[in-house]
Amino acid sequence: MDSIAIIQSKTGFICDMDGVLYHGNRLLAGAKDFVEWLKAQKKNFLFLTNASQRSPKELKIKLDHLGINVGEEHFYTSAQATAGFLKSQQPGGSAYVIGEAGLINALYDAGFSMNDINPDYVIVGESRSYNFDTLERAVNLVIGGAKLIGTNPDVTGPVEHGISLGTGALTAPIELATGSQAYFVGKPNPLMMRQALKNIGCKPEDTVIIGDRMDTDIIAGIESEIETVLVLTGVTDRENMKKFAYSPDHILDHVGQIARA
């Protein structure tokens, strides 16, 4: 069997979004064909994103605007994974959050309260409101005993005009200033991968993970024993792929190749 046939034979599909389906507000080649194929073939699929800004409802609306229609149940974000993890660690805890509505609402739904005086956690996600004041507050809260959490380790993310700063980059100054190391919940953390498999009801051997990043998507699949598919529409190309000590099982120019006859 060739790569496409092997991928098509799987029953479960875990798929990244940024760099795979879209860049910013631009739909990528083959994305719509791929999703229509998933639905037509009655595959079990989940869009698993390290982005924490948006809720599943907002992600659904975004895809609707791009011409792709899927239900909210097909989305799972690093914000949800972070909220679920913290709820299991400290039910009813509090947090100082550098992040957007998707993260804040997920924490509220998990029973957390917002606290900028003596929180249990400082939580960092992607944020346009990141500035010196929020950074300084976060540093002093961590020095004061708050535990440092990042929604995901991505240093950058693809956008229409190039790249944007990711949570890993925003968290790094806090780590440097405090000497603390953040715990990142999103991909490639096995916690998020196990939850993704539960959501689609599939075993690792029956599943593929599709993504554009070697350092999150592909390593997440390798460490979770899930077959990996790298698409070259995001941050990774064939040249910088050589920097990594591991390789994906399959490499595609774009995700639409999976939908071919």
Active site members = 16, 18
Assigned token pair, 161 = 């005009």
Burial of 27 (0-12, 13-18, 19+ CB in 10 A): middle
Q: Which residues contact 241 (CB under 8 A, 6 or more apart)?
A: 214, 230, 247, 251
Q: Which residues contact 92 (CB under 8 A, 6 or more apart)?
A: 111, 112, 113
Exposure letters 149-169 (e unless 16+ CB within 10 A, then b)? bbbbbbbebbeeeeebebbbb
Residue spans of beta strands (DSSP E) within the chain: 12-15, 22-23, 26-27, 44-49, 75-77, 94-98, 113-114, 121-124, 147-150, 156-159, 162-165, 183-184, 207-211, 227-231, 250-252
**Residue 120 · residue 155 · CB < 8 Å:** no
Task: For residue 27, give the amino acid letter.
Answer: L
